[in-house]
Chain A
Amino acid sequence: MNKFLWPLAGFIILAVFLRIGLDLNPHEVPSPFIGKPAPEFSLPVLGTPGEALDKHFSPRDMRGKVWLLNVWSSWCVSCRAEHPFLVRLAKEGKLPIVGFNYKEVRGDTEIDASKLGAEAERELVQKRARAWLAQRGDPYQLTVLDIDGRVAIDYGVYGVPETYLIDREGIIRVKHIGPLTEDALREKIMPLLEQETRGKP
């Protein structure tokens, strides 16, 4: 072969990769948790007004069920867009959804959380979370409160909203970043769900 063809060959390979790259989203970071057990935690559950935060939830409580863990916050704009879809999904009743409220007060740049005491922050978190769910509908079986965002770090959350599909054995099967949509549900979640239901009568 003509050795002067080598640069052309190199360039063609490069161009192929660039073409593939155009269809990929460089911002999407696949979760290393896929196929791994959902990290354990125990977080307070949002209750009715006046109720103390003494009930806790842990992913263990969902063993034997296929469920969605949906990370949200009232200051998150995309969550607002996503919410009606979640409400509809909950009505269909195919999948239980657990709400994971992420840094409700601390994440909000409008509020200086360092000014609030721990107790006042907890109160405010509950008030805001309840108000949001009352106004827009509550698709969640229950909502846990991650006030300081520590547990979210264990799940590798980096942008709200995020949704995890967790199977009967407590293994994370899907992580969806950004608002959950009809398409995402159909393409990413339903196939796995069907496989799960077929697997176990």
Chain B
Amino acid sequence: MIPELGQFALILALAVALVQGALPLAGVQRGNAAWIALAWPAVRAQAFLLTFSFCCLTWAFIDNDFSVVYTASHSNSQLPLPYRIAAVWGGHEGSLLLWALLLSWWSFAVSLFSRQLPETMTARVLGILGLVSVGFLVFILMTSNPFERQLPGLPEGNDLNPLLQDPGLVIHPPLLYMGYVGFSIAYAFAIAALLSGQLDAAWARWSRPWTMVAWIFLTLGIAMGSWWAYYELGWGGWWFWDPVENASFMPWLIGTALIHSLAVTEKRGSFKNWTVMLAIGAFSLSLLGTFLVRSGVLTSVHAFATDPKRGVYILAFLVAVIGSSLLLFAWRAPKVGLGGRFALLSRESLLLTNNVMLAVVCATVLIGTLSPLIASALGKKLSVGAPYFNTVFGALMVPVVFLIGVGPFARWKEASLAGLARLLRWPFFVAVLAAILLPLSLDHWSPLIALGLALAFWIALTATLNFIARVRATRAGRPFLSTLFKQPGAFWGMHLAHLGIAVFIVGVTMVKGYETEKDVKMGPGDTVEVGGYQFGFLGVRETNGPNYLALIGDVEVTKNGKPYRRMTPEKRIYNASGMPMTETAIDSGFLRDLYISLGEPIDRENLNGEWAVRVYHKPFVGWIWIGCLLMALGGLVSICDRRYRVRANAVVITPSATQPAQSA
């Protein structure tokens, strides 16, 4: 009964979405206030109905209702409760419902927090979100109904893929989807602005916090996914350039360009067309990602089970959404004004350059991801994988990262090349010199290590200098530190996020350059030394998990003869599927991770004998994710900017024309 209620709520939600998508937009066009006013209750009703529907599906999982096809194929009565709940989005149908649910929540949030906006603008935004929702709900109901029954029901479910039975599944998809769906808000604002012709600084100011929040979620979602792959897959990698990973990375790149571009549009009224284009692009790439993951056009390690009918539907949806948006763009953009004037070298032009480069990087990832498809359409088979992406992406990111150091020093409107060179000469030399010398004192030297470190030092040094310069300019006799902390959130946020990139680069460079790895056969009593630590293998013991059998290897780690800690890599066999899984043991430190993964027994009938064990010492690997967290934190700090909030709400704004570099 409950699944039927859920499905019924889903159908009602579609009806409401149709109202939300049609009437407010028509109302604005024809000046019908009653139709416009419908947007708000429709959004509320839709959020309620989808929440209810989602709860019904969750209940089917909690209740082990295996007469629901989706539950039967993605859960099992032995599965621990938190994973049964997370299993709701562990497959195609449920994760789509999560998409629709989050979209309704985002829409609801927009309806709540947009009181200061003109009613017609909000109505348009909500209407567009309603149309997007219609697309998703029709898709769910027509091709991917999570409530479909099979009678009689199965006595037991198939189980959730053991790879997904991990806290990662609880957190990663919701974060990622919050990001994807969040870009729909930026998109809806952009389309609303195009429709109304009000493509102005106010529009940028309204959509900026929403975009930033979506970007923060996407950053966290991607980082979480990468960390999950790192500890779960057992071979120590953290990014594989798999099509599905690329599908999340492309909207991130364009989203990053978008938050920078919005800043310029808000402050200087420039780049309006470009900003609109990026807003459409970020959401389009989110949709494209959905297509790539769910249609089966590309092979990926984590694609969903596919069905050609779904592919055709999503493609039609893509063409409708993206095609109509781009058409609208082509129609309206020529009439949009140019905005403030600025010199060929200025904060504006540098930001625009950075934007263009990010777009090129994104296009590269897109071409790389799709070229196997394009090649096979042209009758040739090829593969594009990590070795290609690492080379090309790495090369393209060098100038982008370099500009991060320059941008904050450039003045709005006009900057002087000589002035910039004078300011940045020293940090440049120091960064290069340090990057060349530092690896010499370490294990070995390579040009790539030096390059990576130079870029990281460059960002760190220029950020520090920028802070100092800024505090000097604004302290007016007050103490240095208090002035430092009084700097606006936007300024802090920008530098935190940029430092996050530096930290990230250090992590990548150090782990690529200095990682050590040993593949050994270990019997009880054997030891191996990796990265200055001694790993003594004690043997393997058996434990029963809630729904698996575990073989736990005990590894005693010592450093210089002193006991450090015990690590316990596992091998698990899941009861329902019989699938073996490797659970790595990781000792995360600030400067290094110790990482052990237990392989197979050398003699499969003697579990007390030798085992294949892989031990890694990964210097600075944690900095990869610390860097991502810093980027997200930077975003958070910048939207908490007090001045910015005042600006966002106030009708009358005091100009602050003489302010130097503020935020990016």
Residues of A with Cβ closer than 8 Å to B? 2, 4-5, 7-8, 11-12, 14-15, 17-24, 26-27, 29-30, 112, 115
Asked whether B334 is an interface residue with its Cβ less than 8 Å from the other chain, the reply is yes
Contacts of B298 in A (CB 8 A): 21, 26
Q: B297, A26: Cβ atoms under 8 Å?
A: yes
Q: A12, B323: Cβ atoms under 8 Å?
A: yes
Asked whether B376 is an interface residue with its Cβ less than 8 Å from the other chain, the reply is yes
Q: A18, B334: Cβ atoms under 8 Å?
A: no
Q: A20, B377: Cβ atoms under 8 Å?
A: yes
Q: B372, A17: Cβ atoms under 8 Å?
A: no
- Min C-beta distance of B186 to chain A, whole Å: 16
Contacts of B374 in A (CB 8 A): 17
Contacts of A8 in B (CB 8 A): 323, 326-327, 329-330
Q: In the complex, A23 Cα to B284 Cα: how many Å?
A: 22
Q: Which residue from chain B places its CB closest to the CB of A12 in the assembled complex?
A: B323
Contacts of A14 in B (CB 8 A): 370
Q: In the complex, A29 Cα to B322 Cα: how many Å?
A: 32
Q: A17, B299: Cβ atoms under 8 Å?
A: no
What are 5 A-B interface contacts by the 8 Å CB criterion?
A17-B373, A18-B295, A22-B312, A29-B381, A115-B604
Q: B372, A26: Cβ atoms under 8 Å?
A: yes
Q: B329, A7: Cβ atoms under 8 Å?
A: yes
Q: A4, B273: Cβ atoms under 8 Å?
A: yes
Q: In the complex, A86 Cα to B375 Cα: how many Å?
A: 34
- Min C-beta distance of A1 to chain B, whole Å: 10
Q: A7, B291: Cβ atoms under 8 Å?
A: no
Q: Which residue from chain A places its CB closest to the CB of B379 in the assembled complex?
A: A30
- CB-CB contacts of B299-341 with A at 8 A, as 1s and 0s? 1000000001001100100110011001101100110000000
Cross-chain contact of A11 among B273, B323, B377 (Cβ < 8 A): B323
Interface secondary structure of A, over-half rule:
helix
Q: A112, B318: Cβ atoms under 8 Å?
A: no
Of B296, B297, B329, B333, most A-chain CB atoms within 10 Å = B297
Q: Which residue from chain A places its CB closest to the CB of B298 in the assembled complex?
A: A26
Q: A18, B291: Cβ atoms under 8 Å?
A: yes
Q: A15, B318: Cβ atoms under 8 Å?
A: yes
Q: B376, A11: Cβ atoms under 8 Å?
A: no
Contacts of B373 in A (CB 8 A): 17-18, 21, 24, 26
Asked whether B443 is an interface residue with its Cβ less than 8 Å from the other chain, the reply is no
Q: Given A8-B326, A15-B319, A115-B605, check contact A27 B299 (CB 8 Å).
A: yes
Residues of B with Cβ closer than 8 Å to A? 273, 277, 284, 291, 295-299, 308, 311-312, 315, 318-319, 322-323, 326-327, 329-330, 333-334, 370, 372-374, 376-377, 381, 604-605
Q: In the complex, A15 Cα to B381 Cα: how many Å?
A: 20
- Min C-beta distance of A12 to chain B, whole Å: 7
Contacts of A15 in B (CB 8 A): 315, 318-319, 323
Q: B370, A17: Cβ atoms under 8 Å?
A: yes
Q: Which residue from chain A places its CB closest to the CB of B326 in the assembled complex?
A: A8
Contacts of A18 in B (CB 8 A): 291, 295, 297, 315, 318, 373
Contacts of B273 in A (CB 8 A): 4
Contacts of B333 in A (CB 8 A): 4
Q: A26, B376: Cβ atoms under 8 Å?
A: yes
Q: A30, B381: Cβ atoms under 8 Å?
A: yes
Cross-chain contact of B322 among A4, A11, A19 (Cβ < 8 A): A11
- Min C-beta distance of A82 to chain B, whole Å: 24
Q: A26, B327: Cβ atoms under 8 Å?
A: no
Q: B297, A22: Cβ atoms under 8 Å?
A: yes
Q: In the complex, A22 Cα to B306 Cα: how many Å?
A: 11
Contacts of A19 in B (CB 8 A): 315
Identify the 8 closest CB pairs spanning chains A and B, nearest first: A8-B326, A21-B297, A4-B330, A20-B377, A4-B333, A21-B373, A5-B330, A22-B311
Q: Which residue from chain B places its CB closest to the CB of A23 in the assembled complex?
A: B308
Q: A21, B377: Cβ atoms under 8 Å?
A: yes
Contacts of B319 in A (CB 8 A): 15
Q: B605, A112: Cβ atoms under 8 Å?
A: yes
